[in-house]
Amino acid sequence: METLHTGIDLLTLTNIRKSFKKSGGEEHLVLDGVSLTIKEGEIVALLGRSGSGKSTLLRIISGLAQPGSGTVLYGGKAVTGPVKGLAMVFQTFALFPWFTVLENVELGLDAMGIHHAEQRRRALAAIDLIGLDGFESAYPKELSGGMRQRVGFARALVVEPTLLLMDEAFSALDVLTAETLRTDLIELWLERRIPTKGILLVSHNIEEAVLLADRIVILGTNPGTILAEITIPLAHPRDREAPTFRQLVDKVYELMTKRPRNAAGKSEAVPLSYRLPTAPINQLAGLMEALAGEIYNGRADLPELADQMGFGVEELFPLLEALEILAFARTEGGDVELTPAGQSYVNADILQRKVIFAEHLIRHVALATHIRHVIDERPGNRAKEDRFLRELEDFFSEDEAERVLQVAIEWGRYAEHFAYEEGAGILSLENPGKIDNG
């Protein structure tokens, strides 16, 4: 196949920083020094967990939001507002329910100042291209999710974008529908039936990124910085079962589970043991039991484990991170391995498990230890949760602070490290021995 690559830069991001004001007035840093170039002929996937700033970055690229600092060059020119030649496909389809398919697609052209007959001609061509022929006068509610997203694609492609941005465009679709649409898009691209010169797709799905992209850029969280890049040198169509494909998936898992090595010198760096992932105890226990079981014998290949347990990246990674923080497992080279402590947790009975968990909580989770210290020092051994929320808001957004505290509370209650009075929002040592079945 003739190469699509010309070596010309389509898009250049340099040192993009972006923060949002929290309600208290402080800044929440979301993107920190992101630099990225997309060349003609490239499909680049931006991979990161939810909250890593992917959508924010796409909004900045498309001129819908301004970076705090840094520059966006598109076709060599600085982006300062909505850009011609750029189109975006959204996860939620973003269709107007009171317009037909045809009208929704024509809307893509509205701002371009072309006369109506031409709009219609181009809209019909885009509808045809994406396989929506015959659905021109249907309303979105009459369509399946997959067909709705085809309308989303038609509306983006109708402007004949030079750069196509996709924000989790396949993640609201069921597995088969998503795969069909991915295949159709890649075909349009490879057969040059669309004039698009570059695609930037945002995803939290590792396999999707390896399936579609020439290059994967991994965005870390809190704040979003580029952690790693990897080239995918496979020809299309790609076979998910091929050993080279599996090796690349493994490699990406490995890059994504790498802990940020000691972010020394960064004043806003969050202590690792304060950044608790959402990981319910029963799921942690379930995962450790599966790992210890006879299929894996203590060590598992991450993609295989995800598949076996029916976990997507969004579900598996927080659990892995929690096990790592608690020193119950280690991730390494795209594999996860139980530590001896993780193994003894699995072998223990319910009460012993609590004791082991409590030991690890005190030793490895500074936030839980801190909460316990404060309660110990307080008269009556009681402290309001608001107090901890305010402290956490020095590191996190309000929502994130609340989420992190909830995790600490769930883990602390399970370990019988402290008690929590739900309605009053009070942490105490009252009945710390009471077993909570919640």
Ligand X SMILES: Nc1ncnc2c1ncn2[C@@H]1O[C@H](COP(=O)(O)OP(=O)(O)O)[C@@H](O)[C@H]1O
For the chain, percent helix, then strand, then coil, each to nearest 5?
Answer: 40, 20, 40
Closest contact distance (angstroms) between CB of 222 and ligand X is 8
Closest contact distance (angstroms) between CB of 48 and ligand X is 5
**CA–CA dist 402, 410 (Å, integer):** 12
Q: Of these partners, Mg ion, ligand X, none, which one is at the site of residue 318 (CB under 5 to 8 Å by kind)?
A: none
Q: Helices in 230-349 by DSSP H: which ranges? A: 243-257, 281-292, 302-309, 313-325, 340-347
Closest contact distance (angstroms) between CB of 409 and Mg ion is 27
Nearer to Mg ion, 39 or 49 (CB): 49
Closest contact distance (angstroms) between CB of 31 and ligand X is 8
Closest contact distance (angstroms) between CB of 33 and ligand X is 15
Closest contact distance (angstroms) between CB of 225 and Mg ion is 17
Nearer to Mg ion, 94 or 389 (CB): 94
Query: Any long-range contacts for 24-32 (C-beta under 8 Å, 24+ apart)?
Result: 24/393, 24/398, 26/393, 26/394, 28/396, 28/397, 29/223, 29/268, 30/56, 30/223, 30/224, 31/56, 31/57, 31/60, 31/67, 31/223, 31/224, 31/225, 32/223, 32/224, 32/225
How far, in Å, are 7, 58, 148 from residue 97 at the CA level?
41, 25, 11
Nearer to ligand X, 164 or 287 (CB): 164
Tokens for 206?
């590792």
Closest contact distance (angstroms) between CB of 53 and Mg ion is 8
Tell me which H or E stretch contains 164: strand 163-167
Binding span for Mg ion by CB under 5 A among 31-39, 52-60, 158-166, 404-412: 52-60
Cβ-Cβ contacts under 8 Å for 93 (sequence gap 6 or more): 140, 145, 148, 149, 151, 152, 172
**Chosen residue from 6, 8, 15, 20 binding ligand X by CB under 6 A:** 20
Radius of gyration of the chain (CA): 25
Number of C-beta neighbours around residue 144 at 10 A: 11
Nearer to ligand X, 30 or 288 (CB): 30
Name residues contacting ligand X, limited to 99-138 (CB under 6 A): none
Closest contact distance (angstroms) between CB of 54 and Mg ion is 5
Nearer to ligand X, 54 or 251 (CB): 54
Query: Quick one: residue 235, left, alpha or beta (phi over 0 = left, psi -120 to 50 = alpha)?
Result: beta
Closest contact distance (angstroms) between CB of 50 and Mg ion is 7
**CA–CA dist 414, 357 (Å, integer):** 8
Q: Of these partners, ligand X, Mg ion, none, which one is at the site of residue 51 (CB under 5 to 8 Å by kind)?
A: ligand X
Name residues contacting ligand X, limited to 156-215 (CB under 6 A): none
- Residue 88 sits at the vertex; the CA angle it makes with 83 and 89, to the nearest 5 degrees, is 170
Nearer to Mg ion, 54 or 360 (CB): 54
Q: Of these partners, ligand X, Mg ion, none, which one is at the site of residue 413 (CB under 5 to 8 Å by kind)?
A: none
Nearer to ligand X, 74 or 90 (CB): 90
Closest contact distance (angstroms) between CB of 224 and ligand X is 7
Size of interface with ligand X, in residues (CB under 6 A)? 11
**CA–CA dist 86, 157 (Å, integer):** 10
Nearer to ligand X, 50 or 352 (CB): 50
φ, ψ of residue 6 in degrees (nearest 5): -115, -10
| In contact, 306 and 313? CB cutoff 8 Å | yes
Tell me which H or E stretch contains 105: helix 101-107
Binding span for Mg ion by CB under 5 A among 46-54, 243-251, 269-277, 426-434: 46-54
**Quick one: 191 exposed, middle or buried, by C-beta within 10 A (0-12, 13-18, 19+)?**
exposed
Q: Of these partners, Mg ion, ligand X, none, which one is at the site of residue 20 (CB under 5 to 8 Å by kind)?
A: ligand X
Name residues contacting ligand X, limited to 35-64 (CB under 6 A): 48, 50-56
Name residues contacting Mg ion, limited to 53-72 (CB under 5 A): 54-55
Q: Of these partners, ligand X, Mg ion, none, which one is at the site of residue 48 (CB under 5 to 8 Å by kind)?
A: ligand X
**Chosen residue from 336, 342, 397, 427 binding ligand X by CB under 6 A:** 397
Binding span for Mg ion by CB under 5 A among 21-29, 49-57, 357-365, 397-405: 49-57
**Given the rule CB under 6 A, which residues bind ligand X?**
20, 30, 48, 50-56, 397
Which residues of this chain interact with Mg ion, rule CB under 5 A? 54-55
